[in-house]
Structure 1
């Protein structure tokens, strides 16, 4: 992929960026899978390049409680923990659901309502990405209670994958990340986005050339 042609050409939405990637489950761990569909946007075509198989489309596994909460977050733009029903989890028969440990749980994390006023209402925690919006700032450890809590897929009940995070930063699909899933996310979160690095380098080259 030539970065000179991969720089943003207007607004890039979440759908434009990762909408062609196949559905995976919470905790998906296969290092390589098939795309399963053709690219749609110019960005998807450019970011794929000549890559035939999809690498690192892996999702951090949430614990049982967070997965239940994720499933109760409505699949609408901007939804986060504020949209969780204020009730204990109920089965169809009306009885309380217990985790595999035997613990009865509340959907809304107890600490959030009690401290919301001091922390801008904890906006975005347990949040879903917006297909028509932008990706949030890339972090080294995407999690629903993290600094950037908006880490749930717009339509699927899971945390966004390594490859989705990589695409949001402009890494071509051919780029492979080393280590386990935590290491891969850390590499992406700490990296300078390749298109930005290219643009800065080009301007620096022009500035040096102008001084000669």
Structure 2
């Protein structure tokens, strides 16, 4: 079996955009029994330069959803059965609104796995509840994410509070506040965040939890751990730190709530002070306790497109451990970096498939393999069972 999650880049000139084609080349070479691939939903609408049969040549001739069609054509051309769908991570017990397109492929003559049915109600982001339910494509119309009838499921959605409320709290220090300030009398510890690049801010590793597990997700995510590691944040310049700690600790707060001396003029239009672009409204945004995390990205920066990266109540950005919990990494997971900086940790976390989603997909493969084994046993041919054949693949 081959499992692939090639990085995706919007720029047509980026040579790394061909990495999905490289993964297909490995499939063509090894011809595994099963192939599973994951990517961002933006791939579905990506145009591909070329022309349909009978179309006129021209510099503006692109195939709509061409990259998606190329993947399907390549796999079916190799003789594989193919199944694809858009999955929502929140439907499988992750406190995150992450959507991804998945491709299952299986050789002819073996049963292709199904996509897992949701176990949790899909959480909705506060800014657009309809966003998580469908992906609009130029050739397919709207592609709905897999969900149960009526959006119902056995379990309630996992929220930000469910995921991180038991972790020890801390604030960033105000760079302009002296040590004797009353701010230092707050209950939560304070750490400097306006220090050298590649430095980190937060409590040391192996600190105790703030409380006992308060829900099933916290019990599961601890995985037997008794202390917390990687509960630190990246550091920024003094002005960035001052802006972050001055965002009000309430729901939907973002850069528009900053005092005038800290406001971003480049984000505000000259007409009435309204945001020039709807994407700007979530910059320097706080995640909400009773909602899900937005998609966890590879760089926690409040000025980026996905800038909703501030803790719901504490004056700082999300820590490495909080991002890891949003992706379903157990607390016993230790991240490594040859350079020893947090950017590598965030890249490992943001590029990963959420752990519970991977488990759900693996179970569907296990169902197929077990059925093949039982069928072979019933025929009295254990050596050619699906289980053993899959191991050899």
Structure with max Cα Rg:
2
Residues 5 and 81 of structure 1: is their aligned pair in 2 closer, same or farther, counting only changes over 3 Å? closer
Q: 1:64 is matched with which residue: 215, 219, 238?
A: 238
1:185 alignment partner in structure 2:
346
In structure 2, the residue matched to 1:123 is 281
Match of 1:12 among 144, 158, 179: 158
Alpha-carbon distance, 1:21 to partner: 0.5
Contact 1:140 1:187 in 2 (8 A): yes
Q: Is 1:73 the equivalent of 2:247?
A: yes
1:70 is paired with a residue of what secondary structure? helix
Output the CA distance in 1 between the equivalents of 2:236 and 2:286: 15
Report the TM-score when normalising by structure 1: 0.81
Q: How many residues align?
A: 189
Query: What residue is the counterpart of 2:137 in the other structure?
Result: none
Shift of 1:73: 1.2
Residues 93 and 158 in structure 2, CA contact (< 8 A), matched pair in contact too: no
Alignment partner of 1:109 is 2:264: yes
Question: Partner residue of 2:223?
Answer: 49
Query: How much has 1:83 moved relative to structure 2?
Result: 1.5
> Which residue of the partner structure matches residue 206 of structure 1?
367
Could you list the per-position Cα deviations for residues 18-47 of structure 1 after superposition, in whole angstroms to 9, with x for gaps in the alignment? 001001243226233221321211111111
Distance in 2 (alpha carbons) for counterparts of 1:114 and 1:12: 37
Who is 1:93 aligned against?
A: none
Contact 1:28 1:61 in 2 (8 A): no
Equivalent-residue separation in structure 2 for 1:5 and 1:130 (angstroms):
17
User: What is the match of residue 24 of structure 1?
Assistant: 170
In 2, Cα distance between the equivalents of 1:60 and 1:129?
A: 17
CA contact (8 A) 2:93 2:356 kept: no
Aligned to 2:355: 194
Rate the CA distance shift 1:5–1:137 in 2: closer, same or farther, 3 A.
closer
1:34: which partner in 2?
Answer: 208
TM-score relative to the length of structure 2: 0.45
Residues 77-114 of structure 1, C-alpha deviation per residue, up to 9 Å, x if partnerless? Answer: 111112223x22xxxxxxxxxxxxxxxxxx11121114
CA RMSD of aligned residues (A): 2.3
Contact between 1:171 and 1:194, CA under 8 Å: does it hold in 2? yes
Match of 1:141 in 2: 299
Relative to 1, partners in 2 of residues 1:205 and 1:11: Cα closer, same or farther, differing over 3 Å? same
For the residues of structure 2 that align with 1:5 and 1:137, how far apart are their CA atoms? 14
Query: Which consecutive residues of structure 1, in runs of 5 or more, have no partner in the other structure?
Result: 89-106
Shift of 1:190: 0.6
- Listed as ranges, the gaps of 5+ residues in structure 2 are 1-91, 95-118, 121-154, 173-200, 376-393
Which structure features the higher share of strand residues?
2
- Using the TM superposition, name which of 160-169 and 71-80 deviates more: 71-80
Shift of 1:208: 4.7
Where in structure 1 do 4 or more consecutive aligned residues deviate above 3 Å? 4-9, 207-212
- Partner secondary structure for residue 167 of structure 2: coil
Cα distance in 2 for partners of 1:36, 1:155 equals 15
CA distance in 2, matches of 1:121, 1:175: 33
Q: 1:68 to 1:44 in 2, by over 3 A?
A: same
1:121 and 1:152 mapped to 2: Cα distance?
A: 16
